[in-house]
Structures are given as C-alpha cells and as structure tokens.
Amino acid sequence: MTLLRPGYVVPALSNEEIFFVRRPSGNIVPAHFIQRVTATHQGKTVLSAQGGPAVAKNPFLEFNFKDGQKGDKLTVTWTDNKRGDQDR
C-alpha cells in the first residue's frame, strides 16, 4: 500500500479509462449505464435522478410522490450513455 505524501501527483485518467469494464480475460467492454432518470405526473416533475457507471446492472428504483391517484399516467424517461433518451 502506498501512502500519499505532500508533492505526490496522482495521474489523471481519461474518460476512456474510466468508462469501461476489464474482464478477467483482459478484454475491455465499454460501460453501459443510465445517466439521468425523470418521472413526470400531469406535466410536473416528481423525480429527477442522476446515475453513473457505479450503478447496478439492473437497478431497482422506488419513490413516492403526492397527489397521484390510481390510474393516473406516470411518464418515466431516462438517458443512457449509448442510445440517448428512452421513455415508458
């Protein structure tokens, strides 16, 4: 283990080095992750969240909001780092 000391410079990583997964075989797989999630109800944003490469492969997201009624439409949109905007 190396301890940092005054004057020690930590090398910066490029985006390419941060956003990939290195398999045990040595193969590099580009990361695929959700960057932003937004939920709207009757035109009002009721959830806004940001994600990144450290989020689980199949994340579970739960939230509550006021003024919703059974049967109301809730729109959830998200942006990932590969395909852009998606919605449901």
Q: What would the pLDDT profile of 52-86 be if each residue is shown by its tens digit?
A: 877 777 888 899 999 999 999 999 999 888 876 66
Residue 15: per-residue pLDDT: 53
Q: Residue 74 pairs with which residues in a beta bridge?
A: 41
Tokens of 4: 């940092």
Long-range contacts of 62-65 (CB under 8 A, 24+ apart): 63/39, 65/39, 65/41
pLDDT band at 41 (very low <50, low <70, confident <90, very high): very high
| Domain residue spans of the chain | 34-87
| pLDDT digit string, tens, across residues 1-15 | 456 666 666 555 555
pLDDT band at 46 (very low <50, low <70, confident <90, very high): very high
Stretch 14-23: mean pLDDT:
60
